[in-house]
Amino acid sequence: KAGVTQTPRYLIKTRGQQVTLSCSPISGHRSVSWYQQTPGQGLQFLFEYFSETQRNKGNFPGRFSGRQFSNSRSEMNVSTLELGDSALYLCASSLAGGNDNEQFFGPGTRLTVL
Amino acid sequence: TQLLEQSPQFLSIQEGENLTVYCNSSSVFSSLQWYRQEPGEGPVLLVTVVTGGEVKKLKRLTFQFGDARKDSSLHITAAQPGDTGLYLCAGKVWGYQKVTFGTGTKLQVIP
Cβ distance A43 to B88 less than 8 Å, yes or no, reads yes
Query: Torsion angle of alpha carbons A46, A102, A97, A20, nearest 10°?
Result: 40
In Å, how far is A55's CA from the nearest CA of chain B? 9
Cα B67 to Cα A2: distance, rounded to the nearest angstrom: 36
Apex CA B90: angle with CA B34 and CA B109, to 5°? 40
pLDDT band at residue B93 using 50, 70 and 90 as cut-offs? confident
pLDDT digits (tens, 9 = 90+) for A27-72: 999 999 999 999 888 899 999 999 999 988 999 999 999 999 999 9
What local confidence, expressed as pLDDT, does residue A99 receive? Answer: 52
What local confidence, expressed as pLDDT, does residue A98 receive? Answer: 56
Over 70: is that where the pLDDT of B30 sits? yes
Total beta-carbon pairs less than 8 A apart between chain A and chain B:
59
Q: What are phi and psi of A16, to 5 degrees?
A: 90, -20
What's the whole-number mean pLDDT along residues B41-50?
Answer: 92
- Chain B residues lying within 8 Å of A35, measured CB to CB: 101
What local confidence, expressed as pLDDT, does residue B14 receive? Answer: 97
What local confidence, expressed as pLDDT, does residue A39 receive? Answer: 85
- Chain B residues lying within 8 Å of A99, measured CB to CB: 30-31, 92
Q: What is the largest CA-CA distance in chain A?
A: 39
Over 90: is that where the pLDDT of B47 sits? yes
What is the chain B residue with the closest CA to A88?
B40
Cβ distance A106 to B99 less than 8 Å, yes or no, reads no
